[in-house]
Structure 1
């Protein structure tokens, strides 16, 4: 089994946090989004993962080293390939064409999920979906009476279905997928100006491939600051349900209250403060005389004399005496 992870986007909706690191490396409950994603997929695959191919922009050697380590953490080989132009989802996946063979999962790195199933590898193709209130921003599927997928529609402006594709796909034959993606590029077949995976899926279906919908217990989006903070909240609750230890033994907590669920990283310092619920506090961070709730505070950040809620605070950032609801990038200082 292989996992293909397209993640070359600039993450503009997550700025300023994506000015210094790619969006998939922003932490959720102490681990990068993409690491959570790869680990969760590996758990549902039901068989060993041989390779994880990351399709990225030119993010630099340190990012690439981190991604290789994520692949190795699930017992797989890590492969780095580049998408230098944003030409659509089909083009992004095809950038990893040397890895498109055998059974594989394609998972776009801005989504997480909660699931309680093992992947059925006997299916020709599985497309994970979730019912949504507004399907216009998503690719959607239509089903027949037997529950098989009959149509793939990219970002419908008129209602055709409310089953949104969440960005995770299983293909029994990766080489077949590769050939269908290549067909789109060779014949310049675009939808809304880009090469879309949904067009390849439609072609495969028309040739007789049976696609079935996969359902997850919960779909968690990491598309913008508020969505990511909410995903952190739900993921902390999920880890608490699983009984995971979320407070590092090296953390120094003095005259303070932790309201679970919270993640407290290695060597974090909390003094005269209330932290939680739903807070992820990165390693080497320092919170003093403050109240922090429903927030992501990244590594080596400092919060002093502040009331912070529904916020993201970047690596090495400093917040002093400020009101709540912040989105503060790496190395910034805010004093009020």
Structure 2
């Protein structure tokens, strides 16, 4: 099994937090989004993951090395591919063309999910979907009476289906997908200036490939600050329910209260403060004389005399002051 993770997007909806760090490396529950994504994929695969290909932009050698380590932690080889221009989802997958051989999972790195099933090796393909109330803003799948996926509709104006594609796909035959992706590029089949993956999927179904839906229990978005804070909340609850130790032994808790679930990273200092529930504090952060609820603080943040809720603060940021709902970028200072 191989896994392709397209993640070259700019993450503009999550700015300013993606100005210095790519969105898939923004941490939730103390762990970057892409780390959690590949772990989720590994949990539903019923065979070992041989190689993980990360399709990125110009992120720098440090981030590339970090991604390779993500793969190695799962016992897989990590490989970096580049998408230099934003030419769409089909083009992004094709950038990792050499991995399109045999069974492959494609997982776009802006979402997390919870599912309780394993991949059926007899299916030609599986598309993870989530039933939603308003499908008009999503790509949805159309089913036949046998439960096979027969069409893919982007943002339907009239009701077609309430099963939205969440951006995670399994293909039994990677070569067949590769051929259809190349067909789109070679024939200039473009919509809104981009090569779209659903166009390749439609061609596969027209040639007799049978795709089944893989329904997920929960779909967690990380598209903007508000939903990322909610995702952090849910991830902390999952980890706490599993009995994971979310407070690092090196953290110093001085005259303070931690209301679980919270993630308290390495070398964090809490003094005269109340933290939680649903707070993640990155390594090296310091919180003094403050109350923090339902928030994400990335590494080396300093918070003094504050009352924060539903907030997201970047690495090396400093905040001293009033009660706020904040979205503060890396290296920002407010006092």
Alignment TM-score > 0.5, same fold: yes
Post-superposition shift, 1:139? 1.1
1:120 aligns with 2:117: no
Q: Quote the Cα distance in structure 1 between the aligned partners of 2:152 and 2:313.
A: 38
Deviations 1:5-53 (A, max 9, x none): 0000000001110000100000011110000001111111121110000
Partner of 2:170: 170
Write out aligned runs for 1:91-110 (5 A).
91-110=91-110
Write out aligned runs for 1:129-168 (5 A).
129-168=129-168
TM-score normalised per structure 1: 0.98
Structure 1: give runs of 5+ residues left out of the alignment: none
Partner of 1:256: 256
1:55 aligns with 2:63: no
Does the 8 A contact of 1:322 with 1:334 survive in 2?
no
TM-score normalised per structure 2: 0.98
Q: Secondary structure at the match of 1:133?
A: coil
Partner of 2:276: 276
Q: Secondary structure at the match of 1:179?
A: helix
Deviations 1:41-82 (A, max 9, x none): 111112111000000001101110110000101000001000
1:89 aligns with 2:89: yes
Post-superposition shift, 1:103? 0.4
Which runs of 4 or more aligned residues in structure 1 lie more than 3 Å from their structure 2 counterparts after TM superposition?
none
Q: Quote the Cα distance in structure 2 between the aligned partners of 1:8 and 1:157.
A: 29
Post-superposition shift, 1:322? 2.9
Partner of 1:196: 196
Structure 2: give runs of 5+ residues left out of the alignment: none
Post-superposition shift, 1:133? 2.1
Deviations 1:113-155 (A, max 9, x none): 1122222222110000001222222211011122111211122
Q: Which moved more, 1:152-161 or 1:236-245?
A: 152-161
Q: Secondary structure at the match of 1:182?
A: helix
Does the 8 A contact of 1:124 with 1:209 survive in 2?
yes
Q: Secondary structure at the match of 2:9?
A: coil
Partner of 1:322: 322
Number of aligned residue pairs: 335
Q: Secondary structure at the match of 1:194?
A: coil
Q: Secondary structure at the match of 1:136?
A: helix
Partner of 1:78: 78
Write out aligned runs for 1:202-217 (5 A).
202-217=202-217
Q: Quote the Cα distance in structure 2 between the aligned partners of 1:79 and 1:136.
A: 36
Q: Quote the Cα distance in structure 2 between the aligned partners of 1:97 and 1:88.
A: 15
Post-superposition shift, 1:290? 0.4
Q: Which moved more, 1:155-164 or 1:278-287?
A: 155-164
Post-superposition shift, 1:176? 0.8
Deviations 1:192-234 (A, max 9, x none): 3321100000000000000000011111000111010000000
Post-superposition shift, 1:159? 2.5
Q: Which moved more, 1:111-120 or 1:232-241?
A: 111-120
